[in-house]
Amino acid sequence: MATAIFVNLPVKDLQKSIEFFTQLGYTFNPQFTDDKAGCMVISDTIYVMLLTEPFFKTFTNNGICDTGKHTECINCLSANSRDEVNSIVAKAVAAGATTPKPPQDHGFMYGHSFLDLDGHHWEYVYMEPNAGN
């Protein structure tokens, strides 16, 4: 059995966050989505749990990161092409995201990122299939 990952992120407005990521093409597993949490499906082994801030606080004794001042992490996902990278970032910006930096082109690797409605940093990267060979 493959190991699955469940990234847990606090959100201020769960419904707005679900609507935002739905506009990017993601779906939510209704079995694990309610008024406190939304289970966003990235793949059959990658999920993002969007948790209301009060519910998120029940899992930790630490404070929630102020993403306006600090980066808690960078959630980086692979893309199948440069066009796919640009498309997902364009959809995110159209849905209310901001871009913290211009696209990064390293020849064999191309990436671009956005900050979602809660300031969580998402990056999408395309790597040339034959890079390093």
Distance between CA atoms of residues 48 and 42, nearest Å: 7
SS3 sequence of 80-117: CCHHHHHHHHHHHHHCCCECCCCCEECCCEEEEEEECC
With CA atoms as reference, report the closest residue to 117 among 53, 58, 27. Answer: 53
Residue 129: pLDDT band with limits 50, 70, 90: confident
Q: What is the pLDDT of residues 48-100, one digit of tens each?
A: 999 999 999 999 999 999 999 999 999 999 999 999 999 999 999 999 999 99
Residue 1: pLDDT band with limits 50, 70, 90: confident
Pair of tokens at residue 30 = 């209704």
Domains of the chain in start order, with CATH, are: 1-59 (3.10.180.10), 66-133 (3.10.180.10)
Angle at 17 between CA 9 and CA 96, to 5 degrees: 115
